[in-house]
Structure 1
Amino acid sequence: MTALDFIALFIFIGSWVGYTQFARIKAKTTPCLSRCLHQHRILWMRHIFDHDIRVSDAAMIANLDRHVAFFASSTMLVLAGVLTLFTQVDNVSAMLSAIPYATDKSPILIQIKLSLLVLIFVLAFFQFTWSMRQYGFVNIMMGAAPFAEKTQNKNLIDYAKQMAVVQDQAGHAYNYGLRSYYFALAALCWFYHPVLFIISSLMVVYVLYYREFKSRALRAIKAGINNLEEDFSDLFPEVDIK
């Protein structure tokens, strides 16, 4: 590996870890997708007590879980494909040699780059499966929630907030798994040139930031919470969604 390869790898890891920490801290004080969705989840879980039959709620949780399961199974297939490439390193090297301006095609460097992809998708698989388990936990908590229409019982309200927290954690794990796919696409650029690897890593950070903090979807979700806030403050004055 050249010095440029080490710099590119350092920027890649720094971009991933740095953005994760930045988004986590900024979400505490700035409207973003995770913050606004948390408010919606609190309102959703508060509604759980108002009806005894919760088939629709369980179906919505199952629908969320189904998306995660799809990515978890897809990750295993991708992992199998990447591991297979370890037996075809010479063919990969020959393919890269046919690409103009591609950098070092040595088998050892190709194996290092493939190892990075394997690590990324292993991390993604752990995140997706953890998300699936947590959605299962939410289902259990919903099943245990009593029927108490228009309740103002503080313990039940706190229970609703904890259900929203568990659902939040499932959503975060799913988001981290998807983020692994984004950075895996950036890592593919390393096979071509480390400079492109650096550029793609920074572009992924920009895309993630824009979608989390500046997207049109965020504006719509935030407007929805603002429109409902007054109505829900009348219906559920005991619930703090901030």
Structure 2
Amino acid sequence: MGITDILAVLWFLALWSGFSQTTQPWHALGRTSLSQRMNTHRRAWFRMAAQRDLRMIDTAILNGLQNGTAFFASTTIFAIGGCFALLGATEEVLGVFRTLPFEIEPSPVAFEIKVIGLTGIFAYAFFKFGWAYRLFNYSSILFGAIPPAKVAETEPDALDAAADRAADMNILAGQSFNAGLRTIFMAIGYLGWFAGPLVLMATSLLVIAVLVRRQFYSPAQDAAIPLEPGIRP
């Protein structure tokens, strides 16, 4: 490993951090991100749910969000286990590299450092998914604390405040979930490092390009245009 590897890793981290900032509440690239538009819809959903007497459909949606988060958290645990298995089979993996038609022959130490880095990425994703799972749980509790719809007749502000409180928690959970999912995507780009630092720079840029398109220029982003501009993101 040399200076090129260090520069490639810094490039990888800079792209990852930079893209993460573009999905924050302020606008980036002259457009609102898909995540921010969906946050607006989350708030609208909780406002509408607060006006319903029967909220079974809403609780089913909340359960679906939580179960999806649990699935990805479990997946990252398996990925971490796979990384530890790679550390125990370094020579076997390097033997496979030597049979490839192009020149990839990292040293055992360099290979293990790269695997440890990959393990760290999946561990970070696990913590993000774990925190998102907990926040979705808190959001469900706050949703259950929303007063009955008839309260709107006498205290409309109290009903909206309770709905917004639950929505805020749900938005935070969604942000943590998105961060975990983004980490898994970046792990795909990180795999390029096993082929060399220049490949890492190319694959990480490719992953970011795909994510930028999905967040800012995809049909999904256009479909998520808020129908009620008055609801704050």
When the two structures are superposed, what TM-score results if normalisation uses the length of structure 1? Answer: 0.88
Once the two structures are TM-superposed, the CA of residue 52 in structure 1 deviates from its matched residue by 3.0
Alpha-carbon RMSD: 1.9
180, 185, 190: which one aligns with 2:183? 180
Structure 2 gap ranges (5+): none
Q: After superposition, give the CA deviation of every residue in 1:93-140 in whole Å (9 maximum; x if it has no partner).
A: 111122233344210000010011100000000011111111111110
The equivalent of 1:200 in structure 2 is 203
Structural mapping, 1:28-47, within 5 Å: 30-47=31-48
**Aligned-partner SS, 1:24:** coil
How big is the shift at 1:10? 0.9
For 2:77, the equivalent position in structure 1 comes to 76
More off after superposition, 71-80 vs 146-155: 146-155
Give the conservation status (yes or no) of the 8 Å contact 1:45–1:164.
yes
- C-alpha distance in 1, partners of 2:185/2:103? 22
Contact 2:151 2:159 in 1 (8 A): no
Give the length in aligned residue pairs.
230
The match for 1:8 is 8
Q: Following superposition of structure 1 onto structure 2, how do residues 54-93 of structure 1 map, counting pairs within 5 Å?
A: 54-93=55-94
Q: Work out the CA distance in 2 between the residues paired with 1:129 and 1:116.
A: 20
Which portions of structure 1, spanning 4 or more consecutive aligned residues, are displaced by more than 6 angstroms? none
5+ residue gaps in structure 1? 231-238
Match in the other structure for 1:234: none
**Secondary structure of the equivalent of 2:23?**
helix
Write out aligned runs for 1:118-157 (5 A).
118-149=119-150, 151=152, 153-157=156-160
1:107 partnered with 2:108? yes
Q: Does 1:24 align with 2:15?
A: no
Scaled by the length of structure 2, the TM-score of the pair is: 0.92
| 8 Å Cα contact 2:50-2:160 kept in structure 1 | no
Please state if 1:215 is matched with 2:206.
no
Shift of 1:155: 3.1
Counterpart of 1:163 in structure 2 is 166
More off after superposition, 48-57 vs 114-123: 48-57
